[in-house]
Amino acid sequence: MSSSSAAQSHPKHVVVIGFGMVAHRTVMEILAREPKTRITVIAEEAGHAYDRVALSSYVGSWDRGMLELDTLPSAVEVHNARATGIDRDTKLVTCSDGREVAYDHLVLATGSAPFVPPVPGHDLDGVFVYRTLDDLDALRERIDSAKAAGRMPVGAVIGGGLLGLEAANALRLLGAETHVVEMAPRLMPIQVDAAGGAVLAQKVEALGVAVHAGRATSSIAENPADPNTLTMTLGSDEGDEELAVDLVVFSAGIRPRDELAEPAGLERGPRGGFGVDRHCLTSDPAISAVGEAAAVDGTCYGLVAPGYQTAQIVADRLTGRDARTFVDPDMSTKLKLLGIDVASFGDAHGVAEGASELHVNDPVAGEYKKLVLAADGKTLLGGILVGDAAQYSVLRSLVGEPLPGSPMALIAPAAGEAPAIGVGSLPADAQICSCNAVSKGDICSAIADGSHSVGDIKTCTRAGASCGSCVGLIKQLLDAEGIEQSTAVCEHFAQSRAELFQIASSTGISDFSTFIERFGQGRGCEVCKPTLASIFATLNSADHVLDDGRAALQDSNDRFLANIQRNGSYSVVPRMPAGQVSAEQLIVCGEIAKDFDLYVKVTGAQRIDMFGARVDQLPEIWRRLVDAGMESGQAYGKSLRAVKSCVGTDWCRYGQQDSVKMAVDLELRYRGLRSPHKLKMGVSGCARECAEARGKDVGVIATENGWNLYVGGNGGATPRHAQLLAKDLDDVTLIRFIDRFLGFYVRTADRLQRTAAWMESLEGGLDHIREVVCEDSLGIAEDLEEFVGRHVDGYTDEWSRVLEDPEKLSRFVSFVNAPESPDPTIQFEKRDGRKVPLPAPSMPAVPVGAR
């Protein structure tokens, strides 16, 4: 093959075969250097290039547009066909549709294909691979067919590596009982060791995914008793096991797509791929190869970072830049698989001579951490993190460096006295972004040159533009330079939540498409869509959250006006103001729980929670509750949850004010008020504080002279005591101040910012809030009161309106194509007398024909 490193003259026409992530990056890199370069892309897969790393995020949204990469300039021609041959003498590429495309320089970016071992039955219906969006659509169709037939779909993934666990997660999200079959004795055998694999398997099985490690699939056969199912035979030293499944997914590795090499006379790598030198040139100086299809000095790399490096090398060479050479990439990985953090970096398995290892294995917490040290006991060589990978970016950057202080303190802080290592401890050449090979020095230089936001640094250096795992370190570097961070909601809106609120309020726009077209960019995401949906609901309480296409903007809970549980069922929480409920209403709740076999629990907020309802059962349950005079308790939204109360002067001999009436009044006043985060309130009739009001966002405590008002408390991961805002208030003044406080909070807080954090973020803190709320220092008190008043006047019960609207009711089905069919994947078991959900029920292996 060619070993020339000289920059080539600019080719007039560059043809790229393939349109994956690396092909797309190659085109963009060339155009960034020479915008007038003529480029043709031959794309076998229909549609635009998309982020294959985020393939699993397609499950649930089913929106291909969310994964699409940046649109190419219109001058780039994309020809949808498969390249079938290369004539190097005439410099022509032949396509499956008969077209011939001439090139001056050809870039082979054909990527890779899933490896499907020749297991008997690998070509049967119901056997899939996990590689493309079309593959996921096919999996979804197969699983939905099984559900519509009234049975629990069962899926098995062959391969317990990175892609295998991704595929398993997809099956799990689609509602199938999921099995993972791995020939090695542990999951992710390349990335983790035996101890790490054991902890990983424990966490995976806790999610309801069955792990079959140390077993090989010897055959797949049709089940004669049920032609719609398959039987897998799993072999091991302990004997064969049979598993009845609806579908099988092969995820046993990938192989480079190099079928064009031999007919064209191009050299191949020893394990496949187009053989290239470190300038990414094949044996033909007019042909380059990039990404997973390129065997650089005989080695193919399956990660996106080395692929992007090859794209940059080819772009430099084709546009006359100084030739760079391929640098062996850092193969460290950090992933969140099935919600579990897994990371490995450097010499993770301790193969270096004289290496020693430090281990922390906490099976209770589900965490395993290992550091590999050089013979000196101070230099970090690598490591493995399972369950908690928060320190991954810093540790990976310190590979090859002496560690400051005790190594054990890095993975078990309580065991050592050394302070936590931050980004400031890293040397300038430490790699921050492994996907795009960006060092700390590169980012600091970009900051010095005026890149003062994460977005600017992404544009300037590409750090954080791929997997995003290094964004936290980028923010730390910006903080270290004293640069104030952007409060933008997301990449689609440059404005903060408070600014979006003001825009929506002043323009009156309540349609997301119109709003993003005027004030944002792109199509929106899972961050900005529910944020705007909440703002629209706050400003227009008379409108329904499911009106006018708003259902698609909502989080899953708000979409069905119920709180989804771990097995896909929902909970039902009717409002009981201040815990008050009539005997008739209690009877109705009991009858519903009995008729629908729901688990019943009295919550800490003085309400009754009924668990285990299917989505198709929700309308009938709510119809009976509404007929009994009850309404939605908004347990699903970022809004007022409940107002807790003691019994006050009605019954308690210590009560100083009527706490029950005040709690009822407050709950009925602020019910349904959408806010940046959920809100809780409490009213206590005396200083004994039986309602625990000082642990709430708004707490009211009775005194001899009226009410003391406390604000900014909460439970949760970081409990806070509420602080005294004003004391000895009469009823009217108390409600007026609460109106102002809530109005100020809803208008100005960031997305998902609780009242305590919001107060701390304001300059002046509680004193400033007191000035605004009690003294009207900003002159907005009347406006804030009118804002809350409009909400009170416009409030209607959400579930009552759903029951009156056939179009809204049509959403509450398990399967669109089989609306009468209940979801068989929702299952329960009895445990200690309690009904509990099964997230993914385990079913025993059965012999052929038994199912």
Mean pLDDT computed over every residue of the chain: 86
Spell out the domains of the chain, with CATH numbers in brackets.
13-114+255-318 (3.50.50.60), 127-252 (3.50.50.60), 548-632 (3.90.480.10), 636-796 (3.30.413.10)
610 in Cβ contact with 603 (< 8 Å): no
DSSP string, 751-810: TT--HHHHHHHSTTHHHHHHHHHHS-TTS-HHHHHHHHHHHHHH---HHHHHHT-HHHHT
Kindly report, residue by residue over 783-836, the tens digit of the pLDDT: 999 999 999 999 999 999 999 988 888 878 765 555 666 766 677 888 877 888
| Poorest-pLDDT segment among 190-199, 367-376, 522-531 | 522-531
> What confidence score (pLDDT) does residue 582 get?
92
> What confidence score (pLDDT) does residue 214 get?
93
Half-sphere exposure of 591 (CA within 13 A, CB side): 12
More confident residue, 548 or 313: 313
How many CB atoms are located within 10 Å of the residue 651 CB? 10
Mean pLDDT of 507-514: 88
Which of 174, 21, 63 lies closest to 525, judged by CA?
63
Kindly report, residue by residue over 300-356, the tens digit of the pLDDT: 998 888 999 999 999 999 998 877 899 888 777 776 666 678 888 888 888 888 899
Q: Confidence band (pLDDT; 50, 70, 90) for 496?
A: confident
Sign of the CA dihedral with 372 first, then 427, 457, and 499 last: positive
> What confidence score (pLDDT) does residue 769 get?
94
Q: Confidence band (pLDDT; 50, 70, 90) for 530?
A: confident
pLDDT at 229 over 70: yes
Mean pLDDT of 487-506: 87
Mean pLDDT of 245-257: 93
pLDDT at 419 over 50: no
Kindly report, residue by residue over 514-523, the tens digit of the pLDDT: 899 899 988 7
User: How far out from the chain centre does Cα 778 lie?
Assistant: 40
Q: What residues have CB less than 8 Å from 100, skipping those under 6 apart? A: 92, 93, 94
> What confidence score (pLDDT) does residue 63 get?
82
C-alpha gyration radius of the chain? 30
Which of 14, 101, 93, 15 lies closest to 263, judged by CA?
93
Q: Confidence band (pLDDT; 50, 70, 90) for 418?
A: very low
Q: How far apart are CA 212 and CA 650, in angstroms?
A: 62
DSSP string, 292-310: GGEEETTB---SHHHHHHH
Q: Confidence band (pLDDT; 50, 70, 90) for 82?
A: very high
383 in Cβ contact with 395 (< 8 Å): yes
Kindly report, residue by residue over 141-172, the tens digit of the pLDDT: 999 999 888 888 999 999 998 889 889 988 98
65 in Cβ contact with 29 (< 8 Å): no
> What confidence score (pLDDT) does residue 468 get?
62
> What confidence score (pLDDT) does residue 363 get?
75
Which of 471, 476, 509, 477 lies closest to 490, judged by CA?
471
Torsion from C-alpha of 54, 58, 60, 65, nearest 10 degrees: 120
More confident residue, 366 or 187: 187
What 3-state DSSP class applies to 336?
strand
Half-sphere exposure of 129 (CA within 13 A, CB side): 14
More confident residue, 467 or 575: 575
| Poorest-pLDDT segment among 234-243, 247-256, 652-661, 817-826 | 817-826
Q: Confidence band (pLDDT; 50, 70, 90) for 206?
A: confident
pLDDT at 847 over 50: no
Give 526: exposed, middle or buried? Use CB within 10 Å, 0-12, 13-18, 19+: middle
Angle at 135 between CA 134 and CA 140, to 5 degrees: 95
> What confidence score (pLDDT) does residue 156 get?
97
Kindly report, residue by residue over 462-481, the tens digit of the pLDDT: 887 666 667 767 877 887 77
> What confidence score (pLDDT) does residue 4 get?
46
What 3-state DSSP class applies to 261?
helix
Q: Confidence band (pLDDT; 50, 70, 90) for 839?
A: low
> What confidence score (pLDDT) does residue 469 get?
62
| Poorest-pLDDT segment among 282-291, 340-349, 509-518, 713-722 | 713-722
Whole-prediction pTM = 0.59
How many CB atoms are located within 10 Å of the residue 666 CB? 23
Half-sphere exposure of 210 (CA within 13 A, CB side): 18
More confident residue, 54 or 256: 256
How many CB atoms are located within 10 Å of the residue 548 CB? 11
pLDDT at 553 over 90: no
Task: Please give the structure tokens belonging to residue 225.
Answer: 């008793």
More confident residue, 697 or 60: 697
More confident residue, 568 or 109: 109
SS (H, E, C) 389-431: CCCHHHHHHCCCCECCCCCHHHHCHHHCCCCCCCHHHCCCCCE
Kindly report, residue by residue over 582-636, the tens digit of the pLDDT: 999 999 999 999 999 999 999 888 999 999 998 889 999 999 999 999 999 988 8
Task: Please give the structure tokens belonging to residue 148.
Answer: 């519509």
Mean pLDDT of 376-394: 85
Q: How far apart are CA 560 and CA 616, in angstroms?
A: 10
Kindly report, residue by residue over 747-788, the tens digit of the pLDDT: 999 888 899 989 988 888 899 999 999 999 999 999 999 999
> Binding site for siroheme: residue ranges?
690
> Binding site: residue ranges?
646, 652, 686, 690
> Binding site for [4Fe-4S] cluster: residue ranges?
646, 652, 686, 690
Cα→Cα distances 477→425, 484, 487, 536, 729, Å: 11, 11, 17, 36, 47
Sign of the CA dihedral with 783 first, then 784, 785, and 791 last: positive
Mean pLDDT of 17-41: 95
Q: Confidence band (pLDDT; 50, 70, 90) for 642?
A: very high
Q: At what angle do helices 781-794 and 659-670 cross, to 10 degrees?
A: 80
217 φ, ψ (degrees, to nearest 5): -80, 115
Give 518: exposed, middle or buried? Use CB within 10 Å, 0-12, 13-18, 19+: exposed
> What confidence score (pLDDT) does residue 258 get?
96
> What confidence score (pLDDT) does residue 256 get?
94
DSSP string, 430-450: -EEETTTTEEHHHHHHHHHTT
> What confidence score (pLDDT) does residue 829 get?
82
> What confidence score (pLDDT) does residue 752 get?
85
Mean pLDDT of 80-108: 97
| Poorest-pLDDT segment among 46-50, 67-71, 174-178, 409-413 | 409-413
659 in Cβ contact with 708 (< 8 Å): no
| Poorest-pLDDT segment among 169-178, 242-251, 690-699, 738-747 | 169-178
Kindly report, residue by residue over 428-472, the tens digit of the pLDDT: 877 787 777 788 889 888 888 888 877 788 888 888 766 666 776
Torsion from C-alpha of 452, 454, 457, 459, nearest 10 degrees: -120
160 in Cβ contact with 211 (< 8 Å): yes
Q: What residues have CB less than 8 Å from 24, skipping those under 6 apart? A: 49, 69, 70, 72
Task: Please give the structure tokens belonging to residue 24.
Answer: 């797309």
Whole-number percent of the chain with pLDDT over 70 = 91
